[in-house]
Structure 1
Amino acid sequence: MNVSRAPADDAAPFQARMRTPFATLGIATDGRAITRVEYLAPSEPGQAPADAVAERAVREVERYLDDPAWRFTVPLVPRGTPFRRRVWEAISAIRAGESRTYGELAQRLVTAPRAVGQACGANPISLIIPCHRVVGRLGALGGFMGTAGSFAPRSADDLFVTAATPEPAIGRSRRIAPVDPVEPDALLPSAIKRWLLVHEGYRFGR
């Protein structure tokens, strides 16, 4: 997945708002590529795509919801430093059904786990750049994976808050029970992350 520099204005309006079981997705484009995908509260209203790129993104998210192994092909131009774009490139290579820890990515990129976590938290294109596939040690869901609305914590410190009881290692299950929608306006980063991982075929627990 090509991740390059974008001059997009983060304050720009969304070109589409897509309602999903886990959040409403705010999708912003520059007319040629996706510049931002933001997690909004599930109660946020939908908005029809305003351009061809937003329409393509909506279709591809629909494909992902039908088949979590679907790989996004819509062009992306996220805004970020060269280092953060390197992290996002590495994360984009993680396939559904796989995960990496912050430490594993840090070792590969010759940096610190905290720097990887900060890049995940700054990811402007949530879901499509799959920071939800980056987990803590032992599969803990501490950390976040993209841009969220005001209902979700976003500070750097939030990236490294883990649950009191860490999750066991994440395994893979080919068949998973249907995932229930999350409660509107009660969404937390860990809830989104868990929903997406279960959708992609992960089995939590031993």
Structure 2
Amino acid sequence: MKRKSDPQYVSINASDSASELLSTIVAAPFGAVGIRIGLGVIRESVYLRKSFAEKIPTDALAERAAQQIITYFQSPDFQFSLPLAAARTVFLRKVCAQIAAIARGDVLTYGEVARLVHSALRAVGQACDANWFPLAIPCHRVTAAGGLGGGSHHDQADSFYVGVKRWLLAYEGLTDL
């Protein structure tokens, strides 16, 4: 389930040159959100640190994505409606559909999602880690049984990504995590 198996995938990391690969970068309260467009769909969205400067959208779809991100940060009830690249496996589509069904203000644990999709907890955690669209498919609403993080390197207690997850959940009305 590695992203490199997708022929349209270009690895985006935290380097300054990553902004060249993105179709737009939108400021966010926790840093920024980068969007990559390809073949008429959103290929990927990524959370970026504050060191990334905003980037003007390169096309109409990037503009639409940027506007929807801005609207979400004005209203946590906003529902994204963007053409997303299809998930690479049936299992990932199933997990993403379950995550997308989690309402704002609610969370499920990795174990609860695993039971709902009839799978193992670790597989669900890996699917969340492989989610290329973290605002549109709100994986921040999936938490470990004992707290925010799970087992991935993104989930270390002092990680940038845990900070983003904490911010998003508080923004959506959950402050007791």
Q: TM-score, normalised by structure 2?
A: 0.83
Q: Deviations over 1:23-43 (max 9, x none)?
A: 211101125221100111111
SS at match of 1:83: helix
Structure 2 vs 1, CA of residues 36 and 114 (structure 1 numbering), >3 Å: closer, same or farther? same
**What residue in structure 1 maps to residue 9 of structure 2?**
9
Q: Distance in 2 between matches of 1:61 and 1:160?
A: 23
- Map 1:26-175 onto structure 2 (within 5 A): 26-138=34-146, 140-143=147-150, 157-158=152-153
- Fraction of identical pairs, as percent: 38
Cα distance in 1 for partners of 2:161, 2:100 equals: 19
More helix by share: 2
Aligned partners of 1:114, 1:130: CA distance in 2, in Å? 18
The aligned amino acid for 2:82 is V
Change (3 A) 1:113 1:160: farther
- 3-state SS of the aligned residue for 2:9? coil
Separation in structure 2 between the aligned mates of residue 54 and residue 80 of structure 1, nearest angstrom: 22
Q: Is 2:105–2:172's contact at 8 Å kept on the other side of the alignment?
A: yes
Q: 1:80 to 1:21 in 2, by over 3 A?
A: same
Name the residue aligned to 1:200: 172
CA contact (8 A) 1:17 1:45 kept: yes
> Quick one: structure 1 residues 157 and 74, their matched pair in 2 at CA, closer, same or farther if it must change by over 3 Å?
closer
Q: Name the count of aligned residue pairs.
A: 164
How far has the Cα of 1:132 moved from its partner? 0.2
Give the CA deviation at 1:82. 2.1
* Unmatched 5+ stretches in structure 2: 1-5, 13-20
Unpaired stretches in structure 1, ≥5 consecutive residues:
1-5, 144-155, 164-185
- Cα separation, partners in 2 of 1:20 and 1:157, compared to 1, 3 Å: closer
CA contact (8 A) 2:154 2:160 kept: no
Taking structure 1 as the reference length, what is the TM-score of the superposition?
Answer: 0.72
